[in-house]
Structures are given as structure tokens and as C-alpha cells.
Amino acid sequence: MAQKNLDWENIGFSYIKTDYRYVSNYKDGKWDDGQITEDSTIVMSEDAGVLHYAQECFEGLKAYRTEDNRIVCFRPDLNAERMVDSATRLEMPPFPKERFIKAVEEVVKANEDWVPPYGSGATLYIRPVMFATGNVIGVNPADEYQFRIFCTPVGPYFKGGAKPISIKVSDFDRAAPHGTGNIKAGLNYAMSLHPIVKAHEEGFAENLYLDAGTRTYVEETGGANIIFVDKDGNLVIPRSYTDSILPSVTRRSIAYVAEHVLGLKVEERPVKLEEVSSFVEMGLCGTAAVISPVGKITDHGKVYEIPSGMDEMGPVIKKLYDTLTGIQMGHIEGPAGWVHEIKK
């Protein structure tokens, strides 16, 4: 076994096929034992439920190599729980939490050579996915499913890594009030594909989505939650009054670190778009985004320039970034249970 020879500092956020994946199938009312396989392809019926009624959900987490060469991942229990919630909402049989964590361990261990070196800026992105393979033709849940976890080494989600980005207020909505915005269903991302293509064409890195009901409140972006810092140095986190924001593992961890490690005041509440002009720092947070600073929001003719600017992260977001990534990479001790070692 030897570490793969990739240009780790320069890989982007795209799929690189690794050697092994974990697969378990659900049939006759139960999940089978599951196994590690080299087969990266899936063969299924033309009538599979996923193809017609989008019965699919997924997760995203990362494995990191620490300075002392251990391999760890970050709070996989929360991804397991969120996938149970996603599956339940989509009438899919949840994959048991303890099995999810064990499968993450197995697939990362099997692909150990693909875990990027410490300090390279790259990590191993782990993508659990579950989908309906059983036949459906009327609108009903299927009776057969596949749960799969593959992984791929990735670099920063946004070009330039920690450089501030410019985003726009989307004309489209990503999630209906009381719909599926609070689960990690592929259908939410299908909704966001046309808007993200448009945003990129116009030179923006991401879309900011407002609440679909009133188009007044800030919800989140296509692939990350939002955090703000107000002029008193407090962390302000948008809350959805229609439960249409994904409960980000990263955002929940940042809120805890801000309050309990850095001693900041944390407010979680509905945030109006017009309030954005009163904030001094803004970031997008998620597994892929980590914490990506935002320097500018364009809402048609109106531009909100975030005072921390387009050159570098503001000081509070930088402190949060350093603390969070320090915990994830294993050189700052985090709360018990956050860092999950993959034992060799």
C-alpha cells in the first residue's frame, strides 16, 4: 500500500474514481450484509423509482489525514442521523446509524492510499447515497433500494480556496415552505442546477436563496448554510420559519465552537435580506465549502458590499475557520466524539 501520486495541492472539487466502494441492497424488507466492492457501476431496471420519482437522498462528509498520520473523519454520527431523516421523509427504509458509521470506516480504510497528505489542502470526500432500484409506475415508494458509499479526493469547492466570493440573490427558489429543503434529497439540487448555471454565466460563485413563501428572508445557498457576523462581533445564523434550510453539520459545529470555545454570542433567528447591510462579515459553511467568505451579494441592481471585502476573510470568520479546521485536522482538541478515528 502506498499513497497515490496525485498533484494534491491542485486538485479541484471533481470526481476521481478511487479503488473501493461499499454497497448494501434492500430487498424483501431488509438490508443485506453489505460489502466492499471494486465495481463503480450500477445496473438497474429502466423502471427504477429513482429514475422516475427521484426517490434518492445522499450525504457528504470528509476524511482527513492528521499531522501524526492518523486518518479521521468529522462527526459521521450526524450524517448518519441526517440520512435517516432524509430517508424517512422520502419513504425509504433508513440505513441504520451504526451500520452507516461502520461502512464509512470500511470504505475509508479500503481507500487509505487516496486520503490526501496532511497540509496539502485536499481531503477525501465521502459520498453516501441511497436510491430506489425497485420498479414503480404509479406514484408510490419502491420496495428495493441501494445504499452505497464511495469517496473521491477533493480540493477546495470554490476556486481560490479561502478567497472571498461574490454571490447573487437567485430569482428561483430551491425549496418550498415545509417541503424538502431540510433534508439532503437530490431533488433539491436538481432544482438548483438551472440557477447555478445562470449564476456562473453571470460571474457569480453561488446563489443565495430567499424563503420561497415571502422572498424576504435569507435561507441558504445551493450547497451551504450561511453565517453572518454583526458589528458587535456576534455570530448571526439564519433560521427558516418554514423549516426549509438543511441542518448543516458544519454550521451546527461552528455555532458550538463560537459559543463554547471562542466565547461569542450566537443568535439563530430569521434574517431579512435587507438586514444584510448591517453585517460586517459573511461566510458560507458546509462540508464542501468549509467556511468560504462572501465579499459581495448582488440583488439585481442592488449590491451589498460586505465590509470585510473581497481580499481576505474577516477576523471573526478567520478565527472560526482556524478553530474548526484545527479540530477537523486533529491539531486542536475538539469536543468529545467530534473526531472519529479510522483505526488501521
Q: Which residues are known catalytic residues? A: 184
Contact between 249 and ligand COI per CB under 6 A: no
Q: How far is the CB of 89 from ligand COI (least distance, A)?
A: 17
279's CB contacts (< 8 A; 6+ apart) are: 228, 229, 230, 231, 236, 306
Residue 148 binding: pick among ligand COI, ligand PLP, none (C-beta 5-8 Å cut-off by kind): none
Task: Centre a 10 Å sphere on the Cβ of residue 304 and count the other Cβ atoms it contains.
Answer: 20
| CA count, 13 A, side-chain hemisphere, 175 | 29
Indicate the residue type of 137.
I
Chosen from ligand PLP, ligand COI, none, partner binding at 328 (C-beta under 5 to 8 Å by type): none
Give CA–CA dist 224/237, Å, rounded.
Answer: 12
| Residue 248 binding: pick among ligand COI, ligand PLP, none (C-beta 5-8 Å cut-off by kind) | ligand PLP
Which residue has cell 464511495?
A: 150
The closest alpha carbon to 217, from 250, 246, 240, 191, belongs to 240
Report the residue number, 224 or 306, with the smaller CB distance to ligand COI. 224
Shorter beta-carbon distance to ligand PLP: residue 21 or 251: 251
- Tell which positions 278-337 bind ligand COI, by CB under 6 A: 286-288
Number of residues engaging ligand COI in binding (CB under 6 A) = 5
166 binds, among ligand PLP, ligand COI, none (CB under 5 to 8 A by kind): none
> Nearest distance from residue 88's CB to ligand COI, in Å?
19
Angle at 36 between CA 250 and CA 151, to 5 degrees: 35
Q: Is 225 in the site for ligand COI (CB under 6 A)?
A: no
Cα 79 to Cα 61: distance, rounded to the nearest angstrom: 7
Neighbours of 91 (CB within 10 A): 12
Phi, psi of 255 (to 5 degrees): -60, -40
DSSP letter at 323 equals H
Choose between 154 and 327: whose C-beta lies nearer to ligand COI. 154
Q: How far is the CB of 50 from ligand PLP (least distance, A)?
A: 19
**Residue 246 binds: one of ligand PLP, ligand COI, none (C-beta under 5 to 8 A by kind):** ligand PLP
Of residues 52 through 81, those in contact with ligand COI by CB under 6 A are 60
Residue nearer to ligand PLP on the CB measure, 133 or 221: 221
Residue 223, interface with ligand COI (CB under 6 A)?
yes
Nearest by Cα to 158 from 31, 294, 343, 29? 294
Which residues form the interface with ligand COI (CB under 6 A)? 60, 223, 286-288
